[in-house]
A and B are shown apart, each in its own frame.
Chain A
Amino acid sequence: MEQQQETVLAFKGLTRRFGGVVALNEFDMELTNGQIVGLIGPNGSGKTTSFNVLTGIYEANGGSIEFLGQDITSWPAQKVYEAGVARTFQRSRLCLELSIFDNIMIGAHKRLNHGFMFNVFKRKALQQQIKENYDEARKLLTIFDPELADKMFEPVGSLRMIDRRRIEICRALISHPRLLLLDEPSAGMTHEETRELMDDILEVREMIDGLSIILVEHEMGMIERVTDKCIVLNFGQKICEGAYREVASNKLVQEAYLGGE
């Protein structure tokens, strides 16, 4: 870690309950500038829940979330996004009826002018903004796949799974986030595709200075290759934290995986 050790995100005692089930129990974690953290653990251990609490979809029942020095614990999803957090979803949540361009532009929301007058009456200025954003979206998508960048006006529903994942990641990146949350990007893809996607993610990190990533993943090869640090959750509790190698040899972790499922 040669970059300065600025803390980007900190969970302190983060807790979320669903009825009697404690999905997230006193979860503490910290993430510094440019770091990639892997969040692993058996199914239902609270990985996605922590994303949902962080992005304001669920409210926290206890604890706090600090992002870039601000307490964002009970912020609504919109405000969290404005602050610089972008995410993908476990089950891809693109708008399948809309074109690739449309989907990526949803990610660019905070940079677009949404005023009624601007959109309805200032058509020239609007079209200028559309074209500028088109160029940027195209540049970004070209990093992932130049062929895909030629299909900007085709519906997302007609694409393969890996392409949909790429678009989802582009939708997140176009907002210039400081923190990117990737929820099981390898789900539903082959080994080969997962490798390709991983390369893309590493390339993107090289390109965007100071982008931190939290990666939820079951695919251990991916975790090993891309993360700086791993956090293992089980039944909503952090049971281990450290570099992948340390974590993988930890007894508790092995029990959680072997005994838990």
Chain B
Amino acid sequence: MDMGLLGQFIVNGMMLGMMYALVAVGFTLFFGVLDVIKFSHGDVLMVGTFAGFSTYLGLGAIGIDNAFVQLVGVLVVAIASMALLGAIIARYLVLPLKSAPPLNTLLVTLMLGTVLREAIRLFYPDGSNPKRFPALLPTDSWTIGSFNLRADSVILLVGGLLVIVGVHVLINRTRLGMAIRAVAQDEETAKCMGINFKMIVLLTFGLGSAVAAFAGVMNGLYYNEINFGMGLLLGVIGFSAAIIGGLGNIYGAILGGFIFAALQTLGAVALPFASAYKDVFAFAVVIALIAWRPTGLIAEKTSERV
């Protein structure tokens, strides 16, 4: 294979892996503290991207056209608003159903995902059509042989890596992280130790959603296009990645994201009729992986007592 093409595949795969990992981290955080799957996660990501996009339009409207300022504005608004939305969802939809059958939580968050999707489609100006997301990053590129490395790709990958490192530090090196880990380990004991359970849940959901918003903006910047349905696919894949890594395990989720992206990229390379069946292949992989290892490559903590 041509070097340039190979490099392109690798960069593309890394980018996908980074996005999947960021989404998967959210799923795994939520599952850790509350043993629930929030199926609206992908749609929260989408709403975050639209919030960022609106910020860009708003900044443009008041005459700010410096790309860096715009980028910061987009990121700050997307992340902050989704952190808030995540906490609100946890407070009003997930926590009230804590003692209901797990199926109900699943359904509620699925339905919420539909609400978010439909709300954007119906109420965002011309929401049913894809939007052109601006290229806010430098467009320089370096040519190495036949391979063209774009600066924005490098920046996005580094940014994603920084977010992952940030989450790692937050979980492992701070008091908040300690509290999150304590709740994930054993809710009752954590409560006895004076940890405000509800607050930790809200903060965790906020954190996971903020990370998803970042992934959404990343997605927009990389593909330069966003639409109201983008969250569904990313959500399903992110969840699968979290499962591959073993739910509740952050490093597993990151690994799962990259494994999934690698499989997808390999599939695109290996299949002759590649591009059209790309998504079909991705979903088939999801199904096969879950059938093969229902609890993930790194085993999930089991909680059932007999």
Contacts and interface: CB of A to CB of B under 8 A. Distances in A.
6 contacts: A48-B306, A52-B306, A57-B306, A89-B306, A90-B306, A91-B305
Contacts of A90: 306
A48 B305 CA distance: 10
Interface in A78-97: 89-91
A48 B306 CA distance: 8
Interface in B260-306: 305-306
Nearest to B305: A91
Interface of A: 48, 52, 57, 89-91
Contacts of B305: 91
A178 B27 CA distance: 48
B305 to A, nearest CB: 7
B255 to A, nearest CB: 21
Nearest to A48: B306
Contacts of A91: 305
- Chain B contact residues: over half helix, strand or loop, or mixed? loop
Interface of B: 305-306
A63 B306 CA distance: 22
A148 B27 CA distance: 47
Nearest to A57: B306
A91 B306 CA distance: 8
A84 to B, nearest CB: 20
A91 B305 CA distance: 9
A52 B305 CA distance: 11
A90 B306 CA distance: 7
A57 B306 CA distance: 9
Nearest to A93: B306
A90 B305 CA distance: 10
Contacts of B306: 48, 52, 57, 89-90
A88 to B, nearest CB: 12
A52 B306 CA distance: 8
Nearest to A51: B306
A-B complex: 6 closest residue pairs judged by Cβ atoms: A52-B306, A57-B306, A89-B306, A48-B306, A91-B305, A90-B306
B180 to A, nearest CB: 23
A57 to B, nearest CB: 6
Nearest to A91: B305
Nearest to A18: B302
B188 to A, nearest CB: 16
A90 B304 CA distance: 13
A163 B237 CA distance: 47
A220 to B, nearest CB: 24
Contacts of A57: 306
A212 B301 CA distance: 36
Contacts of A89: 306
A161 to B, nearest CB: 18
A57 B305 CA distance: 11
Nearest to B302: A18
Contacts of A52: 306
A252 B306 CA distance: 28
A242 to B, nearest CB: 29
Nearest to A89: B306
A52 B304 CA distance: 13
B142 to A, nearest CB: 49
B100 to A, nearest CB: 14
A89 B305 CA distance: 10
A56 to B, nearest CB: 11
Nearest to A52: B306
Nearest to A49: B306
B247 to A, nearest CB: 18
A180 B306 CA distance: 17
A57 B302 CA distance: 14
B1 to A, nearest CB: 45
